[in-house]
Amino acid sequence: MIWTPFLHAACLTLCAPPLQDAPGAEPQEPEAPKAEPAVTPAADLRLHAERVYTGTGEILKNALIEVRDGKISSLRPGRSAPEGVLQVKAITAGMIDLSARLHSNFNSVEQSTEVQPHLDVAGSVNLYDKRFARLARTGVTTILVNPLDRNVIGGRGVALKTHGPMEVEARRLKGRPILRGAIGSEPSAANHAAFGRPTDFYSRRPTTRMGVEWEWRKAFFDAVAATRLPEKDFPGAEDLREALAGKRTVMIQAWTTQDIRTAVYLDEEMQREGFGDLDLVIDAGAEAWKEPAMLVRNSTIVVLPPHTARGRVGSDGAFFAWNTASHLVEQGLTICLSAHGAGPGPATLGHQAGFAMRGGLSFDQALAAVTSAPAAVLGLSERLGVIAEGMDADLALWNGRPFAATSRVTGVVIDGAIVVDPR
């Protein structure tokens, strides 16, 4: 240890209260040697749970979690709860919803042109929207906000914690960029033929599902063509080329099997043409169960919509069987679950995990589908999705077994802050 008398003196003069410890002295003897390692400074928050589902395949019994500076600083099983520590039945990592749909509706999508890959939804996000807090209360700690699917290519999504600073740029999670678009009836819903009202820009393509598909292909072909013909460059071309180069994920809403097909075939066409390989995520892939083989071939990740009583979901009338999640996982696919927003119904993301289990998914698979799998899509596996030392302290505290209908999230911790106190 280098600690010269000079430095010591300097330090003494600088610090108003004299130093307690002599330089180079041994650390103080801990008061209770067997309980706590001596050098551990006091944690910002300590939590004790009968069971901690880490998300790495482990269930830690009677575990103590310590949080410092918004991160999990230690995680130790087999401890009795120290005095005054927040105690709950179960803890999982905070849940992540990739299709939370907390956009500001028509303010989030620039409809003046149907392809807008260069726009960023961040500017339209309303952090004062009560739905953020509502989602947080259900144990969802991170969401992806995408533009409303009224454009073919709507723009770039933004990943956000559901609690934190009230400025989007301060809250934005810097992970993998995600480009959002849609296939199906929604992108053409507002458009019409040019009869009668030719002055209005909704009199344009696409007015059909075919037109939507054509716009997708045209966008990518034009973007590639513009590399050779700079005068053909257009706003967003660079974003599309980055998507082709695999530098950003392309997340496409496709409810029905023919829309999922279109998305996969688009990707395969880009590969055949030698343009690149899209990193494809299908959102709201309700009918993915019908043709899993092409998804396996393309290693596509699927985000599933919320389960409904009769199976019909979305504006395109897709049929979403309850075993879709388990079936896709059996095929080796990665899936994520989603609750599409924050109510008003009772079906939270936790319930969706339960419903997927009703369809045959195992608990561990269900947990992954609402935590680590979406974290990986966001490129944030280093920070989110599992409970381990060094990870963000985003935790869902449960009053019983997670995802059971008879239990619920009673407490929420985001970045080490207690957002919902279970006490």
Partner 1 sequence: MIQQPTRLLQRIAQTHLALTLGLLGCSFLLSAQAEAGEKYAVRAGTVHTLAGEAIPNGVIVIEGGRITAVGSADDVKIPWDAEVLDVPHLEAYPGFVEAHTSSGMDRPNESVAVAPFLNVRDSIDPVAFYFEDCLRSGITTVNVQQGNACVIGAVGMVVKPRGMTVEEMLVRPRSGLKISAAPKSGMSRATQAQTLRAAFTGLRNHLEDLVQQKRNGNDYSRREALYQGRDLSGERGKGRAMMSKGWTVEGLELVPRGEVDEKQEPLLDLVEGRVPAWIYCGAPMDVRLAIELASDNGFLERTTLVLDDSCWKAADLIAEAGVSVVLDSTLVRTETDPKTEEEEEIFIPGVFKDKGIPFALSSRNSSTESLWFQAAMCMAHGFTRAEAMAAITATPAKILGLEGKVGCLCPGAAGNVLLTSGDPLSVTSFIEYVVIDGNLVYDRSADIRTQHLLEGVVPEGTESHAEEPEVEEDTRKKAGDEAGDEAGDEAGDDGGSR
Partner 2 sequence: MRTQRSMHTKALLLASLAFVASTPASATSGEGDALAIRAEKLHVGDGTVIENGIVVFEAGVITEVGKAAPVPKGMVLIEHAGHLSAGLIALREHAGAVGESNDTTRAVMDEADLAFAYRPNHSEVQGLLEEGITTFVLAPRPGSLVGGLCAVAKTGSEVISRRAYLSICTGANGLTSNRFPTSLQGSQAELERRFSWPRGVFARAVKGELPVMLDGGSSRTEVQHAISFARRHGLKGILVGSTRLGEMAAKIRAAGLGVAISNYTPSTGRRVVEGALALSEMQVPFGFALGSPNGHPANLRLTAAACIRAGLKPSDALRSLTSTAAQLAGVADKVGSVQVGLAADLVLWSGEPTDPGSRVMAVYVDGDEVFRAEDDENGDDQ
Interface residues with partner 2 (CB under 8 A) are 104, 106-113, 116, 118-121, 123-129, 147, 155, 166-167, 169, 200-202
Phi–psi pair at 370, nearest 5 degrees: -115, 5
- CA distances 405 to 290, 360, 401, 408, Å, are 28, 16, 9, 7
| x/- track of binding to partner 1 for residues 93-112 (CB under 8 A) | --------------------
- Gyration radius of the chain's alpha carbons: 25
Shortest reach from residue 353's CB to partner 2, in Å = 31
Shortest reach from residue 162's CB to partner 1, in Å = 14
- Reduced to 3 states (helix: H, G, I; strand: E, B; else coil), residue 266 is helix
Residue 107's binding partner among partner 2, partner 1, none (Cβ under 5 to 8 angstroms by kind) is: partner 2
Contacts of 362 (CB under 8 A, 6+ apart): 326
Nearer to partner 1, 53 or 179 (CB): 53
Q: Count residues binding partner 1 (CB under 8 A).
A: 45
Nearer to partner 1, 24 or 346 (CB): 346
Shortest reach from residue 119's CB to partner 2, in Å = 5
Residue 111's binding partner among partner 2, partner 1, none (Cβ under 5 to 8 angstroms by kind) is: partner 2
Nearer to partner 2, 107 or 399 (CB): 107
CA 254 to chain centroid, in Å, comes to: 18
Q: Name which position in 34, 130, 228, 423 contacts partner 1 (CB under 8 A).
A: 130
Strands 409-414 and 417-420: antiparallel
Residue 309's binding partner among partner 1, partner 2, none (Cβ under 5 to 8 angstroms by kind) is: partner 1
Interface with partner 1, residue 126, by CB under 8 A: no
Q: Does 305 sit behind a cis peptide bond, omega within 30 degrees of 0 on the bond before it?
A: no
C-beta neighbour count of 145 within 10 angstroms: 27
Q: How far apart are CA 167 and CA 111, in angstroms?
A: 25
Q: How far apart are CA 307 and CA 322, in angstroms?
A: 7
| x/- track of binding to partner 1 for residues 32-61 (CB under 8 A) | ------------------------------
Side by side, the strands of the sheet bearing 158-161 are 95-97, 140-145, 158-161
Residue 110's binding partner among partner 2, partner 1, none (Cβ under 5 to 8 angstroms by kind) is: partner 2
Q: Name which position in 70, 400, 417, 422 contacts partner 1 (CB under 8 A).
A: 400
DSSP letters, 148-215, are -TTSSEEEE-EEEESSS-SSHHHHB--S--EEEEE-SSGGGTT-B-SSS-TTSTTBSS-SSHHHHHHH
The single-letter code of the amino acid at 49 is A
Interface with partner 1, residue 421, by CB under 8 A: no
Shortest reach from residue 258's CB to partner 1, in Å = 10
Q: How far apart are CA 62 and CA 79, in angstroms?
A: 6
Q: How far apart are CA 406 and CA 383, in angstroms?
A: 30
Nearer to partner 2, 129 or 238 (CB): 129
Residue 118's binding partner among partner 1, partner 2, none (Cβ under 5 to 8 angstroms by kind) is: partner 2
CA 63 to chain centroid, in Å, comes to: 26
Nearer to partner 2, 119 or 266 (CB): 119
Interface with partner 1, residue 203, by CB under 8 A: no
Q: Name which position in 276, 322, 340, 395 contacts partner 1 (CB under 8 A).
A: 322
> Contact positions toward partner 1, by CB under 8 A?
130, 133-134, 137, 257, 261, 289-294, 307-311, 319, 321-324, 327, 330-331, 343-347, 351, 354-355, 357-360, 399-400, 403-408
